[in-house]
A and B are shown apart, each in its own frame.
Chain A
Amino acid sequence: NAGVTQTPKFRVLKTGQSMTLLCAQDMNHEYMYWYRQDPGMGLRLIHYSVGEGTTAKGEVPDGYNVSRLKKQNFLLGLESAAPSQTSVYFCASSLAEGMNTEAFFGQGTRLTVV
């Protein structure tokens, strides 16, 4: 049981380049989330999904797009990377019955935009 898997683990991008971060979960969870973690800021929600084919904006969605074509996968896209998007990105998932059940996190992706 792999849980939540993120790829890649590390990436360096040049300003203006694009990339997609992949999150995969094998727990049949309905809810999936993308967070970014910056020093002194805690975890901030970028986008989330409450089921296959649905997505919604979180606290800091600008500059990112997401897709949930399959229940087990949640993709985070950066169309034109900016240095302000240098961060550690975490994906998480949870069961459908609201947030009274724990969230499971991936190992994180460290992205540097130069």
Chain B
Amino acid sequence: ILNVEQSPQSLHVQEGDSTNFTCSFPSSNFYALHWYRWETAKSPEALFVMTLNGDEKKKGRISATLNTKEGYSYLYIKGSQPEDSATYLCAFNSGYSTLTFGKGTMLLVSP
């Protein structure tokens, strides 16, 4: 069983704050790293799929970086808004047919 760790478990910030979370994964046999956004009562939706060391991806105020050699990825949210409140999941693929998910970081953004 692959070990995918996310930190922090939860985070509470004020509107306008910038924040970041970490996903740690095995540095060997890397194939892809996924980030998903999961709103309460909805299903997870993909934010990014990253495959190359040094990848940086951006979607609006959200961006992610990838370091496959040391086994971590950061997700950044600039100027958090209440609608950013969700659980953010990362998932690791080592070249087989499945993803191993972390337990997620729960973000709450207060107005």
Contacts and interface: CB of A to CB of B under 8 A. Distances in A.
Q: Which of A56, A99, A103, A106 has the most CB of B within 10 A?
A: A99
B71 interface: no
Nearest to A102: B46
A59 B1 contact: yes
B101 A98 contact: no
A22 B105 CA distance: 29
Q: Which of A41, A42, A50, A90 has the most CB of B within 10 A?
A: A42
Contacts, number: 64
A58 B98 contact: yes
A10 to B, nearest CB: 12
A107 B43 contact: yes
Contacts of B98: 33, 45, 48, 58, 99
A31 interface: yes
A43 interface: yes
B44 to A, nearest CB: 5
B50 to A, nearest CB: 9
A86 B32 CA distance: 31
B46 A100 contact: no
Contacts of B32: 98-100
A105 B31 contact: no
Interface in B91-111: 91, 93, 95-104
A113 to B, nearest CB: 21
Q: Which of A58, A102, A107 has the most CB of B within 10 A?
A: A102
B102 A42 contact: yes
Contacts of B103: 40-42
Interface string B1-32: 10000000000000000000000000000011
Contacts of B45: 105
Interface of B: 1, 31-32, 34, 36, 42-46, 49, 51, 89, 91, 93, 95-104
Interface of A: 4, 31, 33, 35, 40-45, 48, 50, 56, 58-59, 90, 98-108
Given A31-B97, A43-B44, A104-B46, 4 more contacts: A44-B101, A58-B98, A99-B32, A105-B43
